[in-house]
Amino acid sequence: MAGTKSPVGQTTDSFGCPFDKLYKDQSLQGADISFFRKGTRDDRIEQVVTPASDRGFAIGISTLAGHTRRIFHERHATTHVFDEDSLYIRNLAEPYRADLIGAFDMLLLEISPASLNKIAQEADFSGVTMLEAQTASKDLVLANLVRALIPALEHPEEASKLFVDQLATAIGTHLVQRYGGKMQISALRSRKLSRSHEALAKNLLLENLDGDISIMDVSRACNLSRGYFIRAFRETTGVTPYQWLLNERITRARELLKGSEVSLSEVAISCGFADQSHFTRVFTNVVGTTPGHWRRNA
């Protein structure tokens, strides 16, 4: 996906970067978090401006080393060099103006104030309304979590809504825990799903083999908060909801491959994959060999 078309009449994106400078412009919506990937090969982009707004907070993670930003404050300017996996967090309520020096490939998150409050409540950090500002600091945990979304950003037609929501919840929890500036109000205690909730959740997941169901849909059916549900499901089953569903899809695929003569494309669709290519990539990654090779040796 090389990029998306700019809205008619707009010359810059919502972060102030000129559309004609972007060779990567990808987006994806997760649970309470909007994800973007922005990339440019230009050595310098001057006066990138984001006016103050009530949009909330922007978090950026650099996938490349060597990008530099000269940020202009009211009476002075500061220069920051971004290494690979370094990040920034800024409050969009404050105006922003900067010169961007060097090519960059940034993974961006945007969280509204209401979403931040919701994430904080579900993570047992009630009262968090702000994220601490950061510029060119390192957070490998956050970087690795957000990097896991790159395939979904590049191939949104193959992205599992369940996977994206689940990862968004983990990212949001990490952000409020590390940058929310509040002590945890209630300690995380051992939590497991009741048998009825476990059965209900698994049935809902199996009814949506392609993963096109949100964590919120499943947690609401169980009358649980999203964060509580994910932790309880993991403690009950040993894996996350997405991992459990992926294992079920691969198990079903193996049964079809071994016990029938249906084509690989039919197996792919029957097991909730976008197409045969998507099925082959996921199966090979999980099993260690292609579906065709596995079938021949089964």
- Taking the chain (298 residues) in runs of 10, the rounded mean pLDDT of each run is 52 92 93 94 91 96 94 93 95 95 95 93 84 94 95 91 92 93 54 90 92 90 89 92 93 91 91 91 92 89
DSSP classification of residue 180:
S
CA-based torsion, 222, 225, 227, 232: positive or negative: negative
Residue 89 to residue 70: CA distance in whole angstroms: 15
Q: With CA atoms as reference, report the closest residue to 158 among 169, 147, 146, 150.
A: 150
| Sheet-wide strand order for 96-101 | 44-50, 96-101, 67-72, 77-82
Name the β-bridge partners of 72. Answer: 77
Q: What is the pLDDT of residue 8?
A: 56
Q: How many CB atoms lie within 10 A of CB 134?
A: 17
Name the β-bridge partners of 109. Answer: 35, 59
Helix (H/G/I), strand (E/B), else coil: 216: helix
Say how far residue 129 (Cα) sits from the centre of its chain: 21
Q: What is the pLDDT of residue 2?
A: 38
The fold for domain 243-297 equals: Arc Repressor Mutant, subunit A (1.10.10)
Name the β-bridge partners of 106. Answer: 38, 62
Q: What is the pLDDT of residue 185?
A: 46
Q: What is the pLDDT of residue 127?
A: 82
Q: What is the pLDDT of residue 189?
A: 56
The values of phi and psi at residue 91, to 5°, are -85, 120
Tell me how far CA of residue 264 lies from CA of 124, 158, 210, 254, 259, in angstroms.
45, 17, 16, 11, 13
Residue 39 to residue 62: CA distance in whole angstroms: 10
Q: Write down the residue that tokens 């002590």 correspond to.
A: 183
Tens of pLDDT, residue by residue over 170-186, are 999 999 999 997 554 44
Q: Degrees (nearest 5) of the Cα angle 31, 32, 36? A: 85
Q: What is the pLDDT of residue 1?
A: 34
Q: What is the pLDDT of residue 181?
A: 78
Q: How many CB atoms lie within 10 A of CB 98?
A: 21
Residue 88 to residue 179: CA distance in whole angstroms: 11
Largest CA distance in the chain: 72
Torsion of CA 134, 187, 145, 216, to 10 degrees: -110
Q: With CA atoms as reference, report the closest residue to 77 among 43, 46, 110.
A: 46
User: Per-residue b/e over 190-216, b at no fewer than 16 CB within 10 Å?
Assistant: eeebeeebbebbbebbeebbbbebbbe
pTM for the structure as a whole: 0.81
Helix (H/G/I), strand (E/B), else coil: 199: helix
Q: What is the pLDDT of residue 122?
A: 85
19-179 carries CATH number 3.30.200.20:
no
Would you state the structure tokens that stand for residue 190, as one six-digit string?
A: 């051992």
